[in-house]
């Protein structure tokens, strides 16, 4: 099985918003005007695309493997907009937030899929997983995989120290503070960029990027769903129970090697791609639990950090139905998706994918109950936005700096609000 390259996890390039005059409407000049179905996918998805091509010898399909870097697709589509040719009929996004750019008026690239993909298929995706694809009631992409957050923990260390796996955020804070005091250097979380904003604020339902349409976004960090996160993290940041070191940084990997990662709320893909390969934590120690519940709630809502999506070009012309069929198959074929490296967005495929995961000897216990619960509890209001890069960097410039310096996190929320509003307006959103 080809593994998703971890390098793409750290890519953070500003989205290109300078596309000129996306016209939409199917010019018929996708595929370089050669009458072929032009498909752009990353290295991981290339074998599946080739499999589809082999199964459809009557279709002229050209597959191009593209790099997974954020910003690559919008840049290339912007160039195609200028030349009025060369648009891919199908494209895979390693950063689903770019759907907001490609569906926007400036680019005019993404075609609505509501009339192209049956509702029965769209209803088969995990609840809320297509929210990042939906603007003003229209679905502009299908998710390939999702990255719901769970509470990862080191079962061996938890048992050794005599701690119980927390079920509420209050219990999580209590365990984290005690661990930091009794076992110097031990951490229970990471609050950096998307790992802080998507995991903690995303799971709480804080409206940092609630897309109301392609031109309007709701941002209100004064809500309780935001201030309660700041209150949770304030004493933990002071005690160094949570770190601002990004999990993909070698410095964080050292924490794993030194047995200092007690718990780590994070996305589903951390299980396969971080704890063993990066953090060097031996097999039989890592387990997953549902995210802790917030005060007044009983459902363990999950945040989101990652995943991918497929789009169909509005310029595909007479190839539109073929393009939509390929996207439908790539995202919902159970046999295909069960062999993919990350958690499938399509529910039936996720169940099949989970059969092997449940028997994986790396884990201390079956992680699928927690992963399945998370996939079915994605917190609403976490939309795709054109200011994704600024959303991450502004978190670090405000909350991250406050956490490092001992500053007040509630006060930092106001600064983050200002930066998010500025980024949204620069990206031509009305903030409501």
Helix (H, G, I), strand (E, B), or coil: what is residue 416?
helix
Which residues share a beta bridge with 304? 148
Whether 19 is covered by a domain: the verdict is no
In tens, the pLDDT along 218-267 reads: 999 999 999 999 999 999 999 999 999 999 999 999 999 999 999 999 99
Residue 220 located in a structural domain: yes
| 32 pLDDT tier (thresholds 50, 70, 90) | low
CA distances from 247 to 188, 244, 253, 270, 373 (A): 12, 9, 7, 9, 23
According to DSSP, residue 290 is labeled P
- Is 252 part of any domain? yes
Is residue 368 in a domain? no
- What pLDDT does 31 receive? 56
pLDDT band for 411, please (50, 70, 90 cuts). very high
pLDDT at 188 over 70: yes
**Same domain flag for 247 and 393:** yes
Residue 130 is part of which domain span? 37-145+308-341
- Do 403 and 279 share a domain, yes or no? yes
Cα three-residue angle 242-248-249, rounded to 5 degrees = 80
* DSSP SS3 for 288: strand
Verify that 43 and 114 share a domain, yes or no.
yes
218 and 135 within one domain: no
Which of 341, 356, 391 terminates a domain? The answer is: 341
Angstrom distance (rounded) from CA 140 to CA 98: 11
Buried-exposed string 394-408: b where 16+ CB fall within 10 A, e elsewhere: bbbebbbebbeeebe
Contacts of 289 (CB under 8 A, 6+ apart): 150, 151, 153, 165, 167, 370
Statement to judge: residues 77 and 155 lie in one domain: no
Between strands 430-431 and 61-65, the pairing is: unpaired
Same domain, 287 and 162: yes
Rounded to the nearest integer, the mean pLDDT of the chain is 92
Q: Which of 182, 206, 181, 202 is nearest to 193 (CA)?
A: 202
Q: How many CB atoms lie within 10 A of CB 116?
A: 17
CA distance 291 to 288: 9
Q: 333 and 185: one domain?
A: no
| 269/216 same-domain check | yes
Structure confidence at residue 11 as a pLDDT band (50, 70, 90): very low
pLDDT > 80? residue 22? no
Mark whether 240 and 220 lie in a shared domain. yes
Report yes or no on 17 lying in a domain: no
In a domain, 372, yes or no: no
Q: What is the CATH number of the domain that holds 77?
A: 3.40.190.10
- Residue 2 resides in a domain: no
Structure confidence by residue, pLDDT tens digits, 327-362:
999 999 999 999 999 999 999 999 999 999 999 999
How do residues 145-180 score in pLDDT, each as one tens digit?
Answer: 999 999 999 999 999 999 999 999 999 999 999 999
Nearest to 232 by CA among 260, 257, 196, 270: 196
User: Do 265 and 324 belong together in one domain?
Assistant: no
Per-residue pLDDT, 432? 86
Clarify whether residues 313 and 221 are in a common domain: no
Is the same domain home to 183 and 231?
yes
Dihedral-angle region of residue 200 (phi above 0 means left; psi in -120 to 50 means alpha; beta otherwise): alpha
Q: How many domains does the chain have?
A: 2
Query: Does residue 66 fall inside a structural domain?
Result: yes
Cβ pair 300, 76 in contact under 8 A? no
| pLDDT range class, residue 24, cuts 50, 70, 90 | very low
Q: What is the pTM of this model?
A: 0.91
């Amino acid at each position: 099985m080809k593994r998703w390259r971890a390098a793409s996890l750290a890519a953070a390039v500003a989205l290109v918003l300078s596309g000129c005059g996306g016209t939409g409407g199917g010019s018929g000049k996708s595929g370089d005007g050669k009458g072929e179905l032009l498909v752009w996918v990353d290295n991981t998805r290339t074998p599946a695309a080739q499999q589809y091509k082999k199964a459809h010898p009557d279709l002229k399909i050209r597959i191009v493997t593209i790099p997974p870097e954020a910003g690559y697709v919008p840049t290339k589509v912007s160039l195609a907009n200028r030349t009025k040719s060369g648009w891919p009929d199908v494209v895979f996004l390693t950063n689903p937030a770019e759907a907001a750019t490609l569906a926007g008026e400036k680019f005019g690239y993404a075609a609505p899929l509501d009339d192209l993909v049956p509702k029965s298929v769209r209803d088969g995706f995990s609840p809320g997983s297509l929210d990042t694809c939906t603007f003003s009631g229209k679905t502009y992409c299908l998710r390939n995989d999702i990255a719901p957050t769970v509470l990862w923990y080191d079962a061996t260390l938890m048992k050794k120290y005599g701690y119980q796996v927390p079920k509420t955020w209050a219990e999580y804070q209590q365990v984290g503070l005690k661990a930091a005091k009794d076992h110097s250097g031990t951490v229970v979380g990471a609050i950096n960029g998307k790992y802080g904003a998507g995991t903690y604020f995303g799971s709480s339902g804080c409206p940092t990027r609630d897309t109301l349409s392609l031109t309007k976004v709701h941002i209100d960090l004064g809500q309780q769903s935001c201030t309660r996160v700041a209150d949770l993290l304030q004493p933990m940041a002071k005690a160094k129970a949570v770190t601002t070191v990004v999990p993909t940084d070698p410095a964080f990997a050292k924490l794993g090697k030194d047995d200092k990662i007690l718990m780590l709320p994070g996305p589903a893909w951390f299980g396969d791609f971080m704890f063993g390969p990066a953090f060097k934590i031996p097999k039989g120690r890592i387990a997953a639990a549902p995210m802790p519940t917030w005060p007044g709630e009983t459902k363990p809502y999950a945040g989101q950090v990652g995943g991918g999506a497929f789009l169909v070009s509005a310029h595909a012309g007479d190839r539109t139905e073929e393009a939509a069929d390929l996207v439908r198959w790539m995202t919902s074929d159970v046999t295909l998706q069960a062999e993919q490296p990350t958690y499938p967005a399509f529910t039936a495929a996720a169940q099949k994918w989970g059969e092997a995961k449940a028997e994986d000897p790396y884990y201390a216990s079956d992680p699928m109950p927690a992963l399945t619960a998370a996939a079915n509890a994605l917190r609403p209001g976490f939309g795709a936005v054109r200011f994704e890069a600024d959303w991450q960097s502004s978190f670090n410039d405000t909350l991250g700096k406050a956490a490092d310096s001992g500053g007040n996190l509630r006060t930092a929320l106001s600064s983050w609000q200002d930066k998010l509003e500025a980024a949204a307006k620069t990206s031509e959103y009305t903030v409501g």
